[in-house]
């Protein structure tokens, strides 16, 4: 179970986040604060795993708040002002959610933290993946038939106009979905969009050759798009030995 608090000077923003947190079984909301100084008092007396933190607040800014807690908790910034994103990441926040926050984007941020940097579970039944499935079903060409596709079996996903082609276990399954649908459904720690037409399974990468990413069990390399290159290299950072 991941404990969390909300710090935001606007009650309606807190209400939205509280509703989202209730939908994720692996999150436990300890408290919500419109006054960041009161939140600091709690953090000085109690361990909190994750903060949902607004940036622009009257008593103390979210960025100053992060400096004050000195890395004691993970932080997801929530704000309506995108110009602060650079400052936030320089302070090593986990993610940045731009208001109004859609639930799929909120879920993706939480999932990324719980899977890549798992917080020590409080019981045997609590795991970083608690509350998240590891498969989905898609409609097939046969009427009434739904096919189960496990995340671990997916090699890559290819955009094909109004469809996507899911390449898994040597098979190619067509589904009437969009790349955006799948980006929001797949765990960001395990899958990465590297081109407007391709999403790949990170653990299937075997080599990187210039602008081409090679995958296990896939004969042809996947093109790395320039737009997606920075995110890809950031994902690979720490995996490359100098």
pLDDT, tens digit only, all 242 positions of the chain:
889 999 999 999 999 999 999 999 889 999 999 999 999 989 988 899 999 999 888 878 888 898 888 888 999 989 887 655 555 445 677 888 888 999 999 998 898 887 755 444 433 333 444 444 588 888 766 666 788 889 999 999 999 877 899 999 889 998 888 888 888 788 888 899 999 999 999 999 999 998 999 999 898 899 999 988 888 888 777 666 54
| Confidence (pTM) | 0.49
Exposure pattern of 66-93 as b/e (b: 16+ CB <10 Å)?
A: beebeeebbbbbbbeeeebeeebeeeeb
CB 52 within 8 A of CB 76: yes
Cα 202 to Cα 66, 181, 205, 228, distances in angstroms: 31, 18, 6, 14
**pLDDT value at residue 88:** 45
58 Cβ partners below 8 Å, 6+ apart? 9
CATH number given to 135-236: 2.40.50.1020
**pLDDT value at residue 219:** 87
**What is the side-by-side order of every strand in the sheet holding 95-98?**
27-33, 2-7, 50-54, 74-79, 95-98
Exposure pattern of 223-242 as b/e (b: 16+ CB <10 Å)?
A: ebeeebeeebeebeeeeeee
CA atoms within 13 A on the CB side of 138: 22
Q: Which fold has domain 2-116?
A: Rossmann fold (3.40.50)
In the 8-state DSSP scheme, what is residue 117?
A: S
**Would you list the domain boundaries of the chain?**
2-116, 135-236
Closest to 7 in 3D by CA, of 93, 119, 82: 93
């Amino acid at each position: 179970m991941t404990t969390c608090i909300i710090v935001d000077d606007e009650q309606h923003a807190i209400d939205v986040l509280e509703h989202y947190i209730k939908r994720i079984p692996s999150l436990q909301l300890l408290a919500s604060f419109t006054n960041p100084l009161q939140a600091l008092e709690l953090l000085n007396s109690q361990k909190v795993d994750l903060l949902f933190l607004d940036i622009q607040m009257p008593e103390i800014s979210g960025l100053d708040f992060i400096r004050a807690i000195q890395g004691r908790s993970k932080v997801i910034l929530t704000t309506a002002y995108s110009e602060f994103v650079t400052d936030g990441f320089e302070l090593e926040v986990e993610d940045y959610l731009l208001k109004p926050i859609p639930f799929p984007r909120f879920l993706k941020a939480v999932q990324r933290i719980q899977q890549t940097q798992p917080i020590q579970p409080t019981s045997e039944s609590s795991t970083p993946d608690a509350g998240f499935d590891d498969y989905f079903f898609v409609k097939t060409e046969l009427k009434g038939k739904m096919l189960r596709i496990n995340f671990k079996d997916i090699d890559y996903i290819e955009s094909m106009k109004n469809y996507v082609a899911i390449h898994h276990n040597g098979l190619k399954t067509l589904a009437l979905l969009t790349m955006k649908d799948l980006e929001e459904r797949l765990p960001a720690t395990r899958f990465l969009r590297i081109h407007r037409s391709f999403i790949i399974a990170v653990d299937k990468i075997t080599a990187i050759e210039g602008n081409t990413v090679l995958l296990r069990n896939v004969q042809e390399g996947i093109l790395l798009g320039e737009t997606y290159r920075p995110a890809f290299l950031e994902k690979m950072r720490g995996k490359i030995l100098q």
